Amino acid sequence: GLPVGIVGLPNVGKSTTFNALTKAQNAESANYPFCTIEPNKAVVPVPDPRLEELAKIVNPERIQHSTIDFVDIAGLVKGASKGEGLGNQFLSNIRETEMILHMVRCFEDGNITHVEGSIDPLRDIEIIESELIFADIQQLEKKIDRLARQAKTGDKKVRAQLEIAQELMKHLEEIKPVSTFEKRDDENFIQLDKELRFLSNKPIIYGANVDEEGLLEDNEYVQAVKKHAEEVGADVIKLCAKIEEELVQLEEDEAKEFLEELGIEESGLDKIIRTAFERLGLISYFTAGVKEVRAWTIHRGWKAPKAASVIHNDFEKGFIRAEVIAYEDFIEYGGEQGAKEAGKMRLEGKDYVVQDGDVMHFRFNV
């Protein structure tokens, strides 16, 4: 899948958050017998109350959620891009991710030291993000050298690439992330990004880790992070990692009660998972059979045959048509039969763009 990398300075709550995610994975792992458990990766179910609603109608043996992968990238510290603290290894791990969950410490606790000696989330963000920019500069320097050599033979395309790479370099040298570079729509830039997978171009969710008090009311640290995030177009989700670790171990109604006591509607971890899913451009369609009610993950915009291929490769090749009932219709008319009788089941061909929440049934040749 498309992994989200968890980064942040030491002692900000990364491991606690990752542990909570791992526990969320294990709570459902019986449903995923084929996925191997890796120590630094959590395959986490995406919360989706629609699955429970579908199950009420269909009464399946089991429910399967869409999942999203989180990878723990501990150890990113100041100087990582210079190779300090196994830095380069961590940076190349980040390169493999599609999105960054940047944990920042927004709680005070005299017993838990902060590597920089004080609580200051904006400074922390700057430290981490500068390392990402430095790493991008190193990559880009090498690329510019190569392009400069090739450009001597006079290829127009190479020269255009070199030009944009040099412009980007100027931008990075001002310690600005690739994500704010003006020419990000330029095809030469897109090609460059595809090849180098710039670290500072990845979408970011800030996980503002607070204590219990901070959950109810934004403290000054959270406010600062929110202001910064708005300026750079990132998401912020506030959570108390310690509480999340407890929450994932509770039964659903117990967890609900706990949340009510805390005075919040949704767990921060759930919000992070949902936000990451959406920001990656992912949606779910459903299959609703008596064996299982299941969500399948696709990219927004995928057509029916491609969407079918996530169930089985053969479904794409042999695709004939899809029977589609919108989620709302499926619920309103009490299931497939009712929806059919109400004329709410559509037959769709190979050009149909699958919508979030579609309840699908594929017809195909083997």
Which spans of this chain sit near ligand GDP (rule: CB under 6 A)? 8, 10-16, 74, 107, 109, 112, 209, 211, 240-242
Query: What residues have CB less than 8 Å from 350, skipping those under 6 apart?
Result: 303, 304, 305, 319, 321
291 is in an annotated binding site: no
Closest by Cα among 364, 358, 290 to 55: 290
Do strands 319-325 and 282-288 pair parallel, antiparallel, or not at all (unpaired)? Answer: unpaired
Tokens, residue 313: 């490769």
14 is in an annotated binding site: yes
Local structure of 275: helix, strand or coil: helix
7 is in an annotated binding site: no
Do residues 204 and 234 lie in contact, with contact meaning Cβ atoms separated by under 8 Å? yes
Nearer to ligand GDP, 58 or 76 (CB): 76
Tokens, residue 231: 């300026």
Closest by Cα among 6, 209, 23, 250 to 106: 209
User: CA-CA distances (angstroms) from residue 63 to 59, 291, 359?
Assistant: 10, 9, 14
Nearer to ligand GDP, 210 or 307 (CB): 210
Identify the H or E element spanning 315: helix 313-317
Provide the minimum distance between the beta carbon of 205 and ligand GDP in the complex, in angstroms, as a whole number.
16
Provide the minimum distance between the beta carbon of 360 and ligand GDP in the complex, in angstroms, as a whole number.
40
16 is in an annotated binding site: yes
15 is in an annotated binding site: yes
Identify the H or E element spanning 148: helix 121-151
Provide the minimum distance between the beta carbon of 103 and ligand GDP in the complex, in angstroms, as a whole number.
6
Provide the minimum distance between the beta carbon of 248 and ligand GDP in the complex, in angstroms, as a whole number.
14
Provide the minimum distance between the beta carbon of 240 and ligand GDP in the complex, in angstroms, as a whole number.
4
Nearer to ligand GDP, 266 or 332 (CB): 266
Nearer to ligand GDP, 13 or 305 (CB): 13
Q: Which residues are annotated as a binding site for ATP?
A: 11-16
Q: Which residues are annotated as a binding site?
A: 11-16
